[in-house]
Amino acid sequence: MRILVVQDEAQSADAVARGLRQQGMAVDVAVDGDDGYRKAVHTRYDVVVLDRNLHGMSGDEICRRLTGEGGLTRVLFLTAAGAVEDRISGLALGADDYLPKPFAFAELVARVRALGRRTTPAALPVLVAGDIELDSSKRTVTRRDEIIDLSPKEFGILETLMTAGNAVVSTDELSERVWSGSLDPLTTTLRVTVMTLRRKLGEPAIIDTVVGWGYRLDPLLRNR
């Protein structure tokens, strides 16, 4: 799931983003309205976690524009304006949910996940490739009915590859989806993470390297 956090306090924005990343989400951050809106229109996000009081373009205006454009992105207001009339006015702007500060982080995660499911209603709750099953809602992976313990990044890579079927997924796309595009292309982080994922998944290997491009699931996997 791809998330954009737009909050006017950098420390708060980074804390929210860090917590969501620990839940396996790919997260981008903006600390003013102009940057937030620019990112929201140039990148396909599942959920935008949006403050109302922002420098530059207001959160209200961002919400109005995003919802008025008819896209699939869901908007969750996360703001200190928590009075009943504030919530009513925020939802009237087109926001899909409203969570006032202070908040319980577990509740934020639950609400973001719920909105993410509404963004992609056609997505199957359980992905299957050969003898591997990945449950996105439970964040579990099994092979031959044995649970495989994966890190959030490993889970994100496998989920992206399984969603793509047998299509090739570029290294750039994996970086965008799993590392929020923050991964230095000159590092070996992605390659090492894929190697570790292959080892944990065991034999026979299911992830092919497409030299010069990226990775894909073994095209013969469906026939095993």
What DSSP letter does each residue of 32-60 carry, written as one string? Answer: SHHHHHHHHHHS--SEEEE-SS-SSS-HH
> What is the three-class DSSP state of 210?
strand
CA distance 134 to 192: 21
CA distance 93 to 82: 15
Q: Tokens 């896209």: give the residue.
A: 71
Residue 223: predicted pLDDT? 46
Q: For CATH 1.10.10.10, list the domain ranges present in the chain.
A: 126-223
Q: For CATH 3.40.50.2300, list the domain ranges present in the chain.
A: 2-119
With residue 192 as reference, give the H or E element that holds it: helix 189-201
The DSSP secondary structure of 52-82, one letter per residue, reads SS-SSS-HHHHHHHHHHTT-S-EEEEEES--
Residue 51: predicted pLDDT? 94
Tokens of 5: 């956090």
Residue 159: predicted pLDDT? 92
Domain 126-223's class?
Answer: mainly alpha
CA distance 172 to 184: 10
Residue 43: predicted pLDDT? 83
Residue type at 61?
E
Phi/psi class of residue 70: alpha, beta or left (left: φ > 0; alpha: ψ in -120 to 50)?
Answer: left
Local structure of residue 27 (DSSP, 8 states): E
**Maximum Cα–Cα distance across the chain:** 58
Q: For the domain with range 2-119, which CATH number is right: 3.40.50.300, 3.30.750.24, 3.40.50.2300, 3.20.20.30?
A: 3.40.50.2300
Tokens of 58: 């207001």
Residue 166: predicted pLDDT? 80
pLDDT of the chain, 224 residues: tens digit per residue: 899 999 999 999 999 999 999 988 889 999 999 999 999 988 889 999 999 999 999 999 999 998 887 677 899 999 988 788 888 998 998 999 999 988 999 999 999 998 987 765 554 568 998 899 999 878 899 999 899 999 999 999 999 999 888 889 998 889 888 887 666 665 789 999 999 999 999 999 999 999 988 999 987 665 44
